[in-house]
Chains A and B, each alone.
Chain A
């Protein structure tokens, strides 16, 4: 019996090797590159520099602002995505909503549109003067606000980028949280109502604990996805103007694709990985307790 059990592990071996290859190779390669001075414009001159690329990163004048912007973009996005996702999930879960499946499909639309198309559409919608947002604000009578240059007015750039990211991502929260809400037994609400619990009390003591685990998963995943998100910001602003929306992934892209400095770009990637490992993992454990 014992021999049969150990033999059965062999069946997993090809899968294990496949996963190791596609996950471990890029990881090991990136770590190795981060410890070397590798620039594709200087083939044959690659050399080991130890932590030199990381020291260079800490001394890079763009690093601190990019790190702050990454944190602001991540926290701003995840907090508002969760609030928007939870609100819409509660609405969709209420007995007053008819044609629930159609409503869910409509809510899911922004998430289903490819990011590149989404970002380009938003770029046009945010165009000053003739863009949809300014036209809409004009229609509502907010004429002064409608003159905004959303993606070039420095104080507005990051909030605008966060808002676009929230709009794109919150439907995913809606769908997952709707599924989470459906698992909470109706009897709990009925019993609480009999005991005289109000709406807020029922939400606080039944709904929120009931979706705690699914919330932990989705928030943790989105922290990771948003922290490493490149396309939304790059397509909307390219990290500008004047680096006001520069985040670590756009900094990495610039080093890799414009300067071809793969060693330094990999160091930024490894920094992102370490930063996420030290924060997202423990945060998930804490949220999921």
Chain B
């Protein structure tokens, strides 16, 4: 199995413990567990796939699944998954991440929904209610932007976003905002993939970024070009009071001085282990996945810093109730959105290219939205519909 669970961390130790348990139950099985970073994992999987080699089981980010299916790397697991007694215990939105053209290629093991993560101490300090709409969010961000030293420069800002060229989280934040306008990233129309949003919906998103930066001044001016490495510490230090984030922040909250003040209010994004098409032990790999992601083992494995994707998670003996880091996320899983079931990484990069055009004021939000729409349509025509 290739995965990212470093054995020096809790998740890695938990996986190793479960592998040991499985090997005791099945003495004829030996699990080789290779750990690497996400980028190494993606590149190794692509290269191994081209050589028609690789591990039996591969841990994946949800957005890799369409690429790997197109490359012919993954096994079709529709039959073993649908016949699994636990199949219905996962929400449809979770299975969507692992489903391409009606076929299932993996088990959605975590439900990484996205929520509004905010500093409750700053909200209390300025007497602000948790926002539920964009208008309220802008208003709250403005009120949370404060010039503490009265020198004409704000020291605390209401909000922070990612906008780096190589940002991973930035396109996810954009997608969540676009989904919240009622749009999709893509949709199928007459057998072809086309943009699932209207220019006006993309414009609303770019306008929100623009207004917060240049009208409300509620984003740090230096935040242009931030990725999560800059954004998360800014929340920790109180430089920003709100951001969009996931359940994995519970682990960081436990380590941060200000962690006890981090509160959450909803969206989904997932991770998937699949079986390699060229797997030498396909049946054993499927058995291992079913065992690992049965109720108790899944909740145990996702316990350290993530949210299990099963709907019956609360019935597990390992479930620990947590209103901040579990309940908010769990209640959003059923209505979650998944990234498109087609190779979409190049188009996601356009979200940040056009956001930078807005932040550097080289395009208006309307121009950026039109440009984004045109690029997505052109990408879908040339790289998806024509393949």
B374 within 8 A of A: no
B165 within 8 A of A: yes
Given A129-B222, A152-B225, A258-B346, A241:B360 Cβ within 8 A: yes
**Which of under 10, 10 to 19, 20 to 34, or 35 or more describes the interface residues of A?**
20 to 34
On chain B, the residues within 8 Å of A216 by CB distance are: none
The answer on a CB contact under 8 Å between B72 and A43 is: yes
Q: How far is the CB of B350 from chain A (nearest CB, A)?
A: 11
On chain A, the residues within 8 Å of B356 by CB distance are: 240-242
B331 within 8 A of A: no
Per-residue contact bits, chain A 28-47, to B (CB 8 Å; 1 contact, 0 not): 00000000000111110100
A257 within 8 A of B: yes
Given A42-B70, A259-B346, A238:B166 Cβ within 8 A: yes
Given A41-B71, A41-B383, A151-B225, A240:B349 Cβ within 8 A: no
B333 within 8 A of A: no
Among B42, B70, B225, B357, max chain A CB count under 10 A is at B225
The listed residue (B71, B72, B349, B387) touching A258 by CB distance below 8 A is B349
Given A40-B71, A149-B224, A237:B165 Cβ within 8 A: yes
The answer on a CB contact under 8 Å between A41 and B43 is: no
Residue of A whose beta carbon sits closest to that of B227:
A238
- Expressed in whole angstroms, the Cα–Cα distance for A39 and B43 within the complex equals 15
Q: Which residues from 296 to 350 on chain B have a C-beta closer than 8 Å to any C-beta of chain A?
A: 343, 345-346, 349
The answer on a CB contact under 8 Å between B71 and A45 is: no
The listed residue (A151, A152, A260) touching B67 by CB distance below 8 A is A260
A110 within 8 A of B: no
- Expressed in whole angstroms, the Cα–Cα distance for A234 and B46 within the complex equals 21
The answer on a CB contact under 8 Å between B360 and A242 is: yes
Per-residue contact bits, chain B 44-86, to A (CB 8 Å; 1 contact, 0 not): 0010011000000000000000010011100000000000000
B164 within 8 A of A: yes
- Expressed in whole angstroms, the Cα–Cα distance for A45 and B349 within the complex equals 25
The answer on a CB contact under 8 Å between A241 and B222 is: no
Per-residue contact bits, chain B 216-241, to A (CB 8 Å; 1 contact, 0 not): 00000110110001100000000000
Q: How far is the CB of B213 from chain A (nearest CB, A)?
A: 13
Chain A interface mostly helix, strand, loop or mixed?
loop
A154 within 8 A of B: yes
B187 within 8 A of A: no
Residue of B whose beta carbon sits closest to that of A45:
B387
On chain B, the residues within 8 Å of A40 by CB distance are: 46, 49-50, 70-71
On chain A, the residues within 8 Å of B71 by CB distance are: 40-41, 43, 260
Residue of B whose beta carbon sits closest to that of A40:
B71
Among A40, A43, A45, max chain B CB count under 10 A is at A40
The answer on a CB contact under 8 Å between A239 and B165 is: yes
Among A151, A241, A254, A260, max chain B CB count under 10 A is at A241
- Expressed in whole angstroms, the Cα–Cα distance for A242 and B352 within the complex equals 9
The answer on a CB contact under 8 Å between A41 and B387 is: yes
Per-residue contact bits, chain B 155-167, to A (CB 8 Å; 1 contact, 0 not): 0000000001110
- Expressed in whole angstroms, the Cα–Cα distance for A237 and B164 within the complex equals 8
- Expressed in whole angstroms, the Cα–Cα distance for A123 and B356 within the complex equals 19
Q: How far is the CB of A245 from chain B (nearest CB, A)?
A: 9
- Expressed in whole angstroms, the Cα–Cα distance for A239 and B72 within the complex equals 31
On chain A, the residues within 8 Å of B383 by CB distance are: 41, 259
Q: Which residues from 20 to 44 on chain B have a C-beta closer than 8 Å to any C-beta of chain A?
A: 42-43
A127 within 8 A of B: yes
Per-residue contact bits, chain B 347-370, to A (CB 8 Å; 1 contact, 0 not): 001000100110010100000000
A76 within 8 A of B: no
On chain B, the residues within 8 Å of A210 by CB distance are: none
Residue of A whose beta carbon sits closest to that of B221:
A149
Among B67, B166, B356, B357, max chain A CB count under 10 A is at B166
Q: How far is the CB of B271 from chain A (nearest CB, A)?
A: 19
The listed residue (B42, B166, B222, B224) touching A234 by CB distance below 8 A is B166
The answer on a CB contact under 8 Å between B225 and A260 is: no
On chain A, the residues within 8 Å of B72 by CB distance are: 43
A128 within 8 A of B: yes
Given A154-B360, A241-B224, A258:B345 Cβ within 8 A: yes
Q: Show the binding face of B for A, using Cβ within 8 Å.
A: 42-43, 46, 49-50, 67, 70-72, 164-166, 221-222, 224-225, 229-230, 343, 345-346, 349, 353, 356-357, 360, 362, 383, 387
| A-B CB proximity, top 4 nearest | A240-B165, A238-B166, A152-B225, A128-B222
30 contacts between A and B (CB under 8 A): A39-B387, A40-B46, A40-B49, A41-B343, A42-B387, A43-B70, A43-B71, A123-B229, A127-B222, A127-B230, A128-B222, A149-B224, A152-B224, A238-B164, A238-B165, A238-B166, A240-B166, A240-B225, A241-B164, A241-B225, A241-B356, A242-B353, A242-B357, A242-B362, A254-B349, A257-B42, A257-B43, A258-B346, A259-B346, A260-B67
Q: A241-B164, A242-B360 are in contact. List 19 more A-B contacts (CB 8 A).
A: A40-B49, A40-B50, A40-B70, A41-B71, A42-B70, A43-B70, A149-B221, A149-B224, A152-B225, A238-B165, A240-B165, A240-B166, A241-B225, A242-B362, A254-B349, A258-B346, A259-B345, A259-B346, A260-B46
